[in-house]
Amino acid sequence: MSVAADPWSQRLQAALALAQRGALREAVAAFAGLIAERPREALPHVLLATLWHQLGDLDAALRELETAESLAPADPRAPQLRAHMLLTAGRHADSEAAARRALVLAPHHPHAQFDLACALQAQQRWEEAGAAAEALLAQTPMHAEARRLLARSRLMGDRADAALAAALHPSVLETPALALAVAADFAARGAREPRLALLRALAGRHPRNYAVVLSLADALHAAGYAAEALACSERAEALQPQAAKPRQMRAISLIDRGEPEAGLALYRSLVEQGTLDAIDEQRYLIVAHYDPTPEPEAMYAAHLAWAERHVKPFGPPFVAAPPRGRLRIGWLSPRFNEGPVARFFTGLLRAFDRERHAHVLIELEAHRDACTEALEALADEVLAVHALDDAALLARLREARLDVLVDLAGHAPFSRPQVLAQRVAPLQLCWLDYFDTTGLPNIDGWIGDRWLVPPDSPQRFRERLLHLPGGRFCYTPPAFTPEARREGGGPPVFASFNRIAKLHDGVLDAWARILAALPQARLLIGAAALQDAAARDYLLGRFARRGVDASRLELRGRQSYAELLAAYRLADVALDPFPFSGCTTSCDALWMGLPVVTLPGWSAVSRQTASLAWRLGRPQWVARDADDYVARAVALGSEVETLRAQRTALRREVERRLCDAPAHAAEFAALLRRLVDERWGARGGHGGAFAPDGRQA
């Protein structure tokens, strides 16, 4: 009898038609009837399994597949479907096993091969996942999702070049949404140059795709190409004139190349219009500190306004519990890698009393390096939470049963202020990598010192102000530190290794006057943005308009940390920008034996270098105004031979006064213990101990 005349086969086709129309329950009943009539047929069991899976009954689906496998042990369809269903259910090891069974039966089965690669990737077995993807691509080279999987596996296996090669395949570039997802993977791993190369290639193929052009602008900004980022943001704006994001990127690009007045005026207008999302408005809170003439009340109001607009209650109420045993301290940051956190947190964590305190490192981002590993080795627990959304992160942090949460990020990129605003610990403090109020509810204290925020400071904080007697910062010199002695001789060399965004016209005016007063002196400027030829030309032009010839300037682009420290050996005096002063860069300069001339203002961020100079007993490096800044720099530049002879002695003084980690840790521990006692002790009231906008404690 032909298939067409077979009533059972006709009913099979009718059951399939029901499924295709979405009548899933009716289709289940029809397949059950077919199975009852021919129980030894494997196909209806496979088809019924797909229906049960669609209806959300994984157990029923797996039972049907088990029956199908027993009826047709040589057929790869049932184990392949099992692999896929288990993969979507998050049972990755079981999915891997099922995919491998299917591949034994059909070594080139594309779906089984892809499921295997996905299951291996989900288990973070990056090399094996990449090999599985390559095996699939050898058969189907245009499989775009497999290309993305290969790129991600190579990226996570620290093979960025191989990841880029996979991502540049035509199958990926011809699918903009997929290519943008790969670019996002690169961004999440901090692979700036591969991300930029991919987006350049993608924009070359899709020059009028708004999302592609805007992503390229952001990648150019992240990689330090401000001039190109500016042009690219203008292209994106032309494609969607009503969109706010290209204008925000244009504002950032203007700030990046040293035009904070123009960039901030544009950015401020976008914030006032309410056209930006929470993250872009959060970025404004940071760049607003590049304003040459900031106002205390305006800065405070901007932080409160962000919280008012973007912090909404979610999750269950917080239930506080008093400490039991060791005080559990959570340290939260997206930047547990080389940078400010490593320089100012490593020594503290290493020296902290372990008998009375347990330390939980909470990693908000996946960027890792040797500093990350060193910090993890010093912690009692590590929570990698970068993949969690706000609700899941709130639950995870509350599960950690922290007694104290120390937020090292504030409004820095990739911070999670909306979560902290719901409260995850009885005591929540802000310290280290943010220099202003968070403006958030439920942040109980902001840790500074008497130099950064003196009693008469006009800077306002929503948090209670807390002071460490010895200073907010304790510098941990890197292990690869070169000698402090000056390399070579000759005329004086000034240096600055700060962001170009800090070099507004007032800063360049002062530096030009210093060079005019010392005709033989030179100025060394290093910044990531200066790897861009257009940015270098633009900066040289700004100096030329002030009468400074290019021959007196040495511009350096992106440098490794070791190269940056070595470059200080070619200089005699560091020049601190104002009002956004340096911190890590200033400590690096001091460690390398250079005095740092600084001009503090009213804000904590403008007083960072000054606080270090005062702690070192060097008030002669701290200027009263721009004229005094120039005079003090010229005076130091006139006595470079004396300075060169004192470099090693200055390093010893820095080590004694700015690097005393045991003393810093003891002060920090005493502060936390006092706050915990206030919270739970005889004084007992949260309201009494943590009044908003408080002053020194």
Q: What is the pLDDT of residues 493-520, one digit of tens each?
A: 999 999 999 999 999 999 999 999 999 9
Nearest Cα to Cα of residue 64 among 48, 77, 53, 75: 48
Q: What is the DSSP string of 555-567?
A: EE----HHHHHHH
Q: Is the pLDDT of residue 42 over 90?
A: yes
- pLDDT, tens digit (0-9, with 9 covering 90-100), for 602-659: 999 999 999 999 999 999 999 999 999 999 999 999 999 999 999 999 999 999 999 9
Exposed e or buried b per residue across 135-161, where buried means at least 16 C-beta atoms within 10 angstroms of its C-beta: bbbeeeeebbbbbbbbbbbbbbbebbe
- The gap from C-alpha 446 to its chain's centroid, in whole angstroms, comes to 22
pLDDT at 236: 99
Half-sphere exposure of 543 (CA within 13 A, CB side): 23
pLDDT of residue 6: 86
pLDDT for 5 equals 60
Q: Mind giving me the DSSP string for 606-629? A: GGHHHHHHHHTT-GGGB-SSHHHH
Q: pLDDT (tens digit, 9 = 90+) per residue, 427-480?
A: 999 999 999 999 999 999 999 999 999 999 999 999 999 999 999 999 999 999
Instruction: Write down the pLDDT at residue 2.
Output: 44
Cβ atoms of 315 and 394 closer than 8 Å: yes
Question: For 524-543, how does the pLDDT look when each residue is reduced to its tens digit (9 = 90+)?
Answer: 999 999 999 999 999 999 99
CA terminus-to-terminus distance, the chain: 93
- What is the three-class DSSP state of 636? helix
Q: Model confidence over 238-265: pLDDT tens digits?
A: 999 999 999 999 999 999 999 999 999 9
pLDDT class of 1 with cuts at 50, 70, 90: very low
Residue reference for tokens 């592609």: 212
Hunting for tokens 């669609």 — which residue is that?
54
| Inter-helix orientation angle 24-37/43-54, to 10° | 160
> Residue 383's closest CA among 459, 332, 420?
332
Percent of the chain with pLDDT over 90: 96
- What's the token pair of residue 246? 């290209």
Beta-carbon neighbour count of residue 537 at 10 Å? 13
**Encoded tokens for 225:** 């190409």
Nearest to 283 by CA among 232, 237, 218, 238: 218
Q: Which of 638, 593, 187, 128 is nearest to 386 (CA)?
A: 187
**Residue 366 has what pLDDT?**
86
Question: What per-residue confidence (pLDDT) applies to 683?
Answer: 43
Confidence check: pLDDT of 689 > 80: no
Residues in the chain: 697
- What CA–CA distances, in Å, run from 526 to 344, 356, 470, 530? 22, 43, 31, 7
43-58, pLDDT tens digit by residue? 999 999 999 999 999 9
Q: What is the pLDDT, as a whole number, of residue 635?
A: 99
Neighbours of 34 (CB within 10 A): 22
DSSP 364: S
Give the span between the Cα atoms of 52 and 47, in whole angstroms: 9
- Exposure of 690 by Cβ count < 10 A (0-12 exposed, 13-18 middle, 19+ buried)? buried
Banded pLDDT at 681 (limits 50, 70, 90): confident
User: Angle at CA 654, nearest 5°, toward 652 and 659?
Assistant: 110
Strands lying side by side in the sheet with 573-575? 553-556, 522-526, 493-496, 573-575, 596-597
Supply angle C-alpha 536, 369, 282, rounded to 5: 60
Q: How many CB atoms lie within 10 A of CB 617?
A: 9
pLDDT greater than 70 at residue 370: yes
Residue 586's closest CA among 611, 604, 566?
A: 611
Q: Do 294 and 435 form a contact (C-beta atoms < 8 A)?
A: no
Q: What is the pLDDT of residues 142-192, one digit of tens each?
A: 999 999 999 999 999 999 999 999 999 999 999 999 999 999 999 988 899
Cβ atoms of 435 and 458 within 8 Å: the answer is no
Backbone angles phi, psi at 238, to 5 degrees: -65, -30
- Please name the residue that has the structure tokens 């021959």: 551
Model confidence at 684: pLDDT above 90? no
Residues above pLDDT 70, as percent of the chain: 97
